[in-house]
Structure 1
Amino acid sequence: MNIPLIIVLLYIIVLFAISAYAKKLAKGSEGYLLAGRQLTTPLVAVSITGLAIGGASTIGVAEQAYNVGLAAGWYNVAWGAGAIAMGLLAAGKYRELHVTTVPEMFEKFYDVKGRAIAVASQITILLVTTSMQYLAGGAILASMLPSIFTLRTGMITSALVFIGITFVGGMWSSGLSNILNVALIYVGIGIATVITVTNQGGIGAIAAQVPQEVPYFHLVDGLGWMAIASWFAVMVTQCFSAQGVVQIACGAKDSKTARNGFIIGGLIMLPIGFLAALMGIAGKAMFPSMSATLALPQMIMSLNPYIAGVTLAALWAADVSTAGSLLLGSATLFSQDIYKRFLNPGCEDKKLTKVTKIAVIILGALTFGLALTVSGIVKTLLIGLSLTTAFTVVFLFTTFFPSMARKNSAFYTTLVGILVLVLWQFVPAIRVFPHVIYLEWITCVVTFLGVPLFDSKRIHDRAGTEIVNL
């Protein structure tokens, strides 16, 4: 009897049961896309935690720790810092705007072309990021249950679950299932880490077995402050304007709930990266000559079958929680910012919900195809997220320094952000910083401040009044 497989199958059944219940709550397009703007503080907290703790935050951190040590755990701390910063400065502001998407905010204060370029950029980021979750989900199932899954069948199974639970219940499904997902992630990875470290004789014994030339148990030296600082820069930036993150804030009951939920969620994220890193180091001690990708699954499956099954389900749950939010975000961008805004402005609410659900299926299939054909997604993830710098700059100026904004500010700032990212990829000579995020911030801020030199038309507030003073 394959205990780990049975546990994973039970997990899938529970997920679809939660989605069936969520479907009853998701009434109308706002109920489907934003949980009727009724997410409580705990639901906001587990939703942002579930979005953050994906394949990169668990498997990815453990694999990196196999080579560099505990320093890999800072990836999740960077995510947590971004969520906390979002809670303190921006989550409540987004909720007060009563928007659904970031591009919608662009048009509300700026113009149509600002919305158009924003939706094109945002949906590209989400599609690439979602496809990474299929790859990670398939790899988890294939490496830990090789007699049952290949990489392709693991990806197909992951895709069916990701698309299915999102299609059925939308944001309610994502929020409620993340209660289970986050609990499973912490219980599974926490117990597996403690048992693994204990079985190997404790931290001291593991430290004696790993290569001494690598600072495995130093919090910084394995990567260095520059690399860690780049993680913080990227994660804090994307937390202020990535659609998946913003949509959770917009779904909160009120601005206070949004703020508190993000702060609590950020705090919840902090320890999981170092637990995953410890697993990676333990894998290095147990299987010193094996690739990092194979060592972790091999180590987990050597545990008690029940513990192994829960840990397997926990690692896969990390992908499920992230993929669902990302897929819903991309479908929302299509239905709200493309279909409703440009193709059928007068569509009824019931039809809009139907279009969004169809978009979930189509975009889910598209991202699955992308996952099958595109390589190197993991390597380019942080670079892709750097594109959110333009959106963050626009949001911060619009919210805190609106007198500096002009009608063309959003469009040109986003356009420059795209051009910088393209040049960074194809013109090595401009790589004067350790990461593209720093160049993005400099050029986007300079562009935003430079637009008033040729554009005198100020933006308007929500009441239609021209903004003159701070």
Structure 2
Amino acid sequence: MNLPLIIVVCYIIGLFAISIYARKLAAKGSENFILAGRKLTTPLIAVTVTGLAIGGASTIGVAERAYNVGLAAGWYNVAWGLGAIVMGVVAAAKYRKLNISTVPELFERFYDVKGHIICVLSQIVILLVITSLQYVAGGAILASLLPNIFTLKTGMIMSAVVFIGITFIGGMWSAGLSNILNVALIYVGTIFAAISTLTSQGGLNNIALKLPADVAYLHPIKGLGLGIIMGWCAVMVTQTMSLQATVQIACGAKSEKQAKKGFIIGGLMMIPIGFLAALMGIAAKVAYPDISATMALPKIIMSLNPIMAGITLAALWAADVSTACNLLLGTSTLFSQDIYKRFINPNVDDNKFMIISKITVIFLGLLTFGLSLTIVGILKTLLVALSLTTAFTVTFLFTIFAPGLCRKNSAFYTMIVGISVLVLWQLFPQIRIFSHVIYLEWIACIGTFLLVAVLDSVKTVDLDRTKEVA
């Protein structure tokens, strides 16, 4: 009897059962599909944000990094949690009050069409990259969980089928309701797996004796250094305030108060998982010193008893499902709302718009699967992509808190500079005067916004409304 297979099949059945129920809610209109009818309560926001954060990067990616640098890799989830808390305190209620659906919609409302266009294209690129990473992690999980059934590639294909299917059926309602199951499974599986792993290897002290001496594996900071950890925090605080996937959750809240509380609770919930994944990555370094780092977490869990292994790896896959569904939905919304409805067919009726949104989910799901076949290094790729959100966040913060400095061209030129900095950082190593590109992004984007305020006399069209929001 293949217990891990039975557990995974039961989990998949549960997901699709939830999605079929969610379909009834999503069928009431396009806003129900993309924003859950703006009826997400505090608990649903908390688990949806947590599910978005705890994906392949927060589990497989953290263990992959911990396999090489140690416990410090767990700070990735702390950074995510800090970002969600800051989003809750500073921005979530503001987004809900604006009553928008997407970040580019905000850019056009307060700036201009060219700001809208460059924003939507950049957001789509970022989300495509992040979504692609989930297939890599999902494939690694299934290949380790069921090696006689899945290879890495076929595991990625199976992940794609579930990711796309869940999102297609119920949209935001699927993402929110399925995350109740996902987050519960993640916590139960990860906690028990970490305890079982440490116990089976004779405890943390015994593991420490067998680790290579050239890396401070059990030090909370030294494996990475404070500069890199601070860079992670800067990236995550930046992206949570302007990435479409997080903004869409805030926009779907039932009220401003529930948006704020949901993000704060979600941020607190996601923090412990990173260090638990890091501990298992460290244990894998001792038990399997010669395997691929990406396979560190799946491999160590498969050394546990079949029931525990099945539950835990199903939990890791649940993390992937929860993240990928939100990302796919966010990307689909950007295309359908900010490209199709805005420029191709402005007068589209609600039923046809729902169909377009669902077709877009399938198309973008297949596109991201193709992209995933070229990606290596989960955390490194993710953090570079997320750095581009700096321009969005800077623009949003000025719009809400300093509207007097906003000019019609501010969003466009800030985005151009943000993209340019990222491209130059990749092409010319000599400009890397900071430990992470995010620092240079903040300096360049703030400087650009202020410079435009000085040189451009044309203020934003909707400045009075902006003042009301602030």
Q: CA offsets per residue over residues 23-53 of structure 1, 9 Å max, x none? A: 1111201000000000000000000000000
TM-score by length of 2: 0.97
Map residues 166-185 of structure 1 onto 2, 5 A cutoff: 166-185=167-186
Residues 186-265 of structure 1 correspond to what in structure 2 (within 5 A)?
186-265=187-266
Matches within 5 A, 1:422-441: 422-441=423-442
Equivalent residue number for residue 421 of structure 1: 422
Matches within 5 A, 1:275-314: 275-314=276-315
User: Offset at 1:255?
Assistant: 0.6
Indicate the residue corresponding to 1:6 in structure 2.
6
Q: RMSD value over aligned CA atoms?
A: 1.7
**Amino acid paired to 1:36:** G
Q: Report how far residue 326 of structure 1 moved.
A: 0.3
**Which residue is equivalent to 1:134?**
135
Give the match's secondary structure for 1:271: helix
Hey, what does 2:101 align to over in structure 1?
Answer: 100
Per-residue deviation, residues 333-355 of structure 1 (Å, max 9, x unmatched): 00100001000111111111111
Q: What displacement does 1:465 show?
A: 5.9
Does the 8 A contact of 2:231 with 2:438 survive in 1?
A: yes
Equivalent residue letter for 1:435: H
Correspondences of 1:72-87 after superposition (within 5 Å): 72-87=73-88
For residues 231-264 of structure 1, give each alpha carbon's deviation from its aligned partner in whole angstroms, at most 9, with x where no partner exists.
Answer: 0011110011000000000000011000000000
- Determine the C-alpha separation between the residues in 2 that align with 1:327 and 1:349: 20
**Gap change, CA 1:134 and 1:144, over 3 Å in 2:** same
**In 1, are the aligned partners of 2:134 and 2:323 still within 8 Å (CA)?**
yes
Residue of structure 1 equivalent to 2:15: 15
Distance 1:340 1:180 in 2: 34
Aligned to 1:152: 153
- Mapped pair 1:457 → 2:453: no
What's the CA shift for 1:208? Answer: 1.9
SS at the partner of 1:386?
Answer: helix
Residue in structure 2 matched with residue 267 of structure 1 by the alignment: 268
1:259 aligned partner, one-letter code: K
Letter in 2 for 1:127: L
Cα deviation 1:107-155 (Å, max 9, x = unaligned): 1111111101100000000111111111111121113321100122111
Partners of 2:402 and 2:41 lie apart in 1 by 30
Gapped regions of structure 2 (runs ≥ 5): none
Q: Could you tell me how far apart the structure 1 residues matched to 2:433 and 2:342 are?
A: 40
The equivalent residue for 1:117 is 118
Q: Is the contact made by 2:145 and 2:310 (CA closer than 8 Å) also made in structure 1?
A: no
| Structure 1 segments unaligned to the other structure (5+ residues) | none
Alignment deviations for residues 55-113 of structure 1 (CA, whole Å, 9 cap, x no partner): 11001111211222111110000000000000000000000000000000001111111
In 2, the alpha carbon distance for the partners of 1:294 and 1:347 equals 46
Alignment size in residue pairs: 469
Can you list the C-alpha shifts for 1:407-464, whole angstroms capped at 9, x where unaligned?
11011101111111111111222211111111110110011011123321212447x6
Shift of 1:376: 5.5
CA contact (8 A) 1:461 1:467 kept: no
Residue 17 of structure 1 aligns to which amino acid in structure 2? A
> Which residue is 1:412 aligned to?
413
Alignment check: 8 A CA contact 1:459 1:466 kept: no
C-alpha distance in structure 1 between counterparts of 2:200 and 2:185, whole Å: 22
Aligned-partner SS, 2:219: coil
Question: Which amino acid in structure 2 is aligned with residue 76 of structure 1?
Answer: N
Q: Does structure 1 retain, via aligned residues, the 8 Å contact 2:145–2:302?
A: yes
Structure 2: how far apart are the matches of 1:97 and 1:125?
23
Select between 57-66 and 207-216 the one with higher mean Cα deviation: 207-216
Tell me the equivalent position of 1:38: 39
Residue type of the partner of 1:42? P
